[in-house]
Amino acid sequence: MPSLKFTYKRLFIISAFMLSIIGVVFIYSAGTYWSAIHYEGEIPFYIKQSVYLLLALIVFYTVSNMPVFHKEKTWRSLYLFSLILLVLVLIPGIGLERNGSQSWIGLGPLTVQPAELVKITTLMYLSHQLSKVPSGEQVVRLRHFLLIIIPSALIMLQPDFGSVFILVVSSFILLFIARYPIKLYVAFIALGVIGLIGLIAAAPYRLKRIEAFIDPWSDPLGSGFQAVQSLMAIGPAGLLGHGFQQSRQKFLYLPEPQNDFIFSIILEEIGFLGGCFIIALFCLFIYSGMGLALQSTRSSDFFAISSLVAMIGFQAALNIGVVIGLIPVTGVTLPFISYGGTSLMIIWFIVGVIVSISNRTT
């Protein structure tokens, strides 16, 4: 009979692959018309995503068989490298601006978003640092917080609030797993509220997003546009939806439906039950990933796998919450499913790292 770890690993990889295939299928449905109108003559999104998936699987296979990702010095070097990229992306002429954020670096036909890499390197390097704290000892160390604060500050300069939010929440989940004192979280929440007020004061468009979240119909053609169009896609779909490729909102009503709001189109076409199936796949991914974490023999491996799985799960929950109107719009993609080569390869890089760590026997 297969070992428990092998069973978890198989479920982990299968659920990730199924989510990626669903992504390609619905990028074909959601993005074909948008691509034809706005990118006439270019390769359709679903073909690009298929190529990206093939490359992502190659990345996964390569990384999952590389023991170098077990070592702390690897993640220390990658953490420093990712910080350098965060600085470079802020330099005019190197960083590329999209939708008001200077978050990408162009490499020929490809673009790289350093914030995606730094989320991984921060969690991995912090995991190794936390594993050095003696078991059962509750020690608060400034360097643990500096590892989180420095990349978060650099990302906010872009600005990219969504990435910062995911990085900070995932990091504090890791600190919680590492048994940091609970009383600290009260102070963290208070500081977070103060910081949020400061961010809103610095960029009034964030206040408009909150107002649109509270009442999107107060400005249905402005700040509430995406939320309204998303709800108009979901509301009439019912249990089974209108049928595959039968979405109406993808016809230039919901902007770039293959990206952040692709779950709206999924719900519109295959309904509540179809959406529940995709959420169940994410739950299976998280369950099997945490199973791999619990099978670890080293605290650093347990921390690393747990934090990476938590990050992906939190990002998925955040995106779905935005789409169904439970959370203000944040500009966060749905892991494995939203269109984008960099994000897909990064997510499969994470899967490869987790599998590589779980393969370690010494």
DSSP per-residue string spanning 262-304:
HHHHHHHHHHHHHHHHHHHHHHHHHHHHHHHHHT-SSHHHHHH
> Which residue type does 125 have?
Y
Residues with Cβ within 8 Å of residue 136, at least 6 apart in sequence: none
pTM of the model: 0.90
Q: Which among 35-49, 225-239, 277-291 has the top mean pLDDT?
A: 277-291
The helix/strand/coil state of 112 is strand
Each residue's pLDDT tens digit, 56-91: 999 999 999 988 888 889 999 999 999 999 999 988
Q: What are phi and psi of 101, to 5 degrees?
A: -120, 130
Are 101 and 159 in contact by the 8 Å Cβ rule? The answer is yes
For the chain, the average pLDDT equals 86
Query: Beta-strand (E) ranges in the chain?
Result: 95-98, 101-107, 110-112
Each residue's pLDDT tens digit, 8-23: 999 999 999 999 999 9
Each residue's pLDDT tens digit, 243-295: 888 888 888 788 888 888 999 999 999 999 999 999 999 999 999 999 999 99
User: Confidence class of residue 349 from pLDDT cuts 50, 70 and 90?
Assistant: very high
Preceding omega of 44 cis (within 30 degrees of 0): no
Question: Is the pLDDT reported for residue 361 higher than 90?
Answer: no
User: Confidence class of residue 139 from pLDDT cuts 50, 70 and 90?
Assistant: low
User: Confidence class of residue 180 from pLDDT cuts 50, 70 and 90?
Assistant: confident
User: Confidence class of residue 329 from pLDDT cuts 50, 70 and 90?
Assistant: confident
Question: Is the pLDDT reported for residue 1 higher than 50?
Answer: no
Each residue's pLDDT tens digit, 80-128: 999 999 999 988 878 887 766 778 887 666 677 889 999 999 999 999 9
238: left (phi over 0), alpha (psi -120 to 50) or beta: left
Q: What is the pLDDT of residue 182?
A: 76
pLDDT exceeding 70 applies to what percent of the chain?
90
Give the span between the Cα atoms of 27 and 18, in whole angstroms.
14
Q: What is the pLDDT of residue 307?
A: 95
